[in-house]
Chains A and B, each alone.
Chain A
């Protein structure tokens, strides 16, 4: 009776003193909580400790793993008080000096007052001032629309037909041909352009190149770099993924037919969901299979491996499509970006049911025959493995292990396959926030939801019953209102033509990334892309037709330019540089393709399984399974464009490795361009350069018999798109007088002018 009375009384008293209590909380308690406790016990915590939050009333009373933190009115029973008094096992705040006696007394008083706390609802992202500020970051704002009329001056295509200096025209066609199709212009194409006085001369060249089927082969390479395309899984086994090359063909075809970019993304993210019978869509879904996959013998840790796969598949969405480093939020809230750890796992949750799904493209008879053959082989392997297990002699064990490997190599080659994906909801991985990113440390469970910083607070997580989760993800990413997707791809195309993006960090549009050098231009490009139905070719076209692209021609690098031309002079101050294409060294693939084209050996065949060319046998021996490097039997295939050569993680062609081709392990936003002696050795002494120099020599002999002057002229025109100067002609003639033609052609392949475009 007395007790009840007291409780009723005290609650009455408190209600009367509510305002005072709140003031006391605001003045004495909340600042301490914020300064001392929130870093581990609030929504802002990198990693919530003890399951306890102290940033709203209900959470304080509910408490964490150890029970309620505060029992209103009973300081003696309140864990929070015990912890700050250092009375029990819990000592708070940890690794910091004990709170002052005065502060502790305030807390006791506050609890005795009934723990008045005005923080009635759970704080949202919007309540966090840091987060709110980050939301204002330029890249998270809607794309500003200025209308197509407001075409930025640098993109003016005025004067494309103006008859420029012929030297400039030679430089220009060489540049635009490499930029759009990755190959050098033929001498005939150069002369036709130089001789074409019409106003549309340049436009005609550009349209011819955009229509060329080589266009997709060039444009694909950048996308393949970004999605770290490879046809083997990496790690120990580096297993070849059967049919992975189909993804490469899919990308080339998509760019060639100018598939709308939003559709291109939807097919890759959710192709198997939206049209499970459509081969093109299933091929697009190989996208999820492209990351390195670790497989191991013995005790497999299924949950760990699954976590590694999901990590790969999630991180690439950030780098490739969003242009955000979401991967950093796997272990903790992003230190530099407004990306919560929870956001990371919500993104991962879209992929929770995604599983590998190999689709065999063969008749049932073919499949049955293949299965019989395979079973035969596998039975034999099992038999030998058992022998090996039973063998007591180490040498015998080794011999049998060797035999197992040989038998494995002799198993029938896989049937034509699309290494696609599908949803398997029965196997759906329950996605949790993982403390420190360690799969065993499961925190709060989450469902799919877009990144908080790009989403209204009231948007709920997707229901676990959603049958097409990746379609939902794709829909969000390709929404015309999405601030990142269009900007990111427009910037990549700019980078392809100007050497560096308007945002230099093409995979990072976040706070840590570079700011755009010209935000209006970027937005205009992004808006134009969306308004054109996400078609990329018009974007390529307007960039290469622009004055900016053409503008820096003939600025007089070396002998060919004319420094007095008005177009040379920059129209803006040096502090805001007028965009113009950078001098660039050709990529490894372009150099190889150019040598093939110039020597007349290029096999222009498009598509199909990847080609394996011979490399130094010692390098093949460094593969864990050297038999994987099964050289393509048809040698004419060895002369195909570089994009059709196998992309194998554990054995990259030394030629490519040397000339800055990416490592195929992580997303490559932009090629490095380094210069070092082994490159010179590769291009001077390497088998490829020497073989093709000899082929080039044979071509010249065929076309010019042994007329030195004619040979030299033709060689310069083929390799550099211009005739030799008198000086060059004389030096070359002297050289050829005493040296073999193959050394002359090798020298041309090593010329800076051959290796660079201006």
Chain B
């Protein structure tokens, strides 16, 4: 008997089709993962179950929770069910909690709003569930405010709120996407434990197929608002029917083969670099404290080498990137490109800057929305002593657009006319246009859907062959770094804790932290490949 049964669910928002004839069911104690790329309608399916859809939503079909059709419930009846019969956990723990209320009040609110028990018992229950999710009151009193907790801890509070009344169904919408890999592993373990302990059904929405394969009893794959394939995890992984499912799994574990680098010759030399940030003064007359974001980092990047830099958020990898780019001054050590310092005095050294470019993470924030593509990608010409003009400039722009798989006709368009993947191609074109010696990829594929990510990785390999690229690839995603780099460095709390050939580091990590990272990362089963 199923706990949740979604039958032929269709959804339109202001007339636009969002979901088409979606069917899925969850039994008590079962974990069902709904997966797909952005725009597949997976989150809307979750919100439809909660009946928290945006204005203008029209639903059709049936969503049965224990034989009650949720679509037929009044708003008051739904309020009584939300939080009590169905709990929900969201993606962004940083913003999911009310900043002006204590965590105790927010957990107790779930209990009190449903008048489940009087206040003193509610308090005890809140302490119990917070302890259960790993926030015991002796270390995390109920009087804490959200801003006093880390992202992972906040997500635990959100989970505590969702399970305070032991709902029969728990919905988790990308619950770990915003978290670091080690925190992600802990939260996933917590969710798994709760399902077993309480016999809840868990509807898990995630784009991460490794998480899906790791967690789910059954998988539902969606695309463009439709379920393309569903089935028990082990069976589906072995016998994928739909080409889209196969494509998705292949793209997630996409492997590329880099061309063999030439003779090692030092290009970027980083020696004993230290970067301190001033902290706000504790008292009016105290000397301000320091936070050491980069702590005595040294490494050499050879010409033609593809070097990876991995680490969790706050480890200092972004700060190091900015220091290499000469955007921030360092407090100690030396950064040289081709033997010349990136900063001469307090000014950036233009002769050095000319030799490096960067590709950022956010395909939406990387471009001035008011400029056309031609102007956007030719911005680095500013670094040249004699920037090309007229037809030469046009030719260079056209050549670059072609090189990254776009058309020269695109140069007259504005950036909002492109998809996320196309924008990332334009970002690469901008980085390549002055033929820099070194390119920094700062989480350059992290915001992309897996199929687009696979295409961009292929593009990088093509460009490596055509232009002999040397790059530093900064990412939190181990699986990507594993395939796109020759050598990798692991960074933690401002220090490089491990540095070695990529295959060696991944197959035989030396440092305990590297081992933890690799163990925590959910792995994609090889099965998809076997079938394909």
Chains A and B belong together in one complex: no
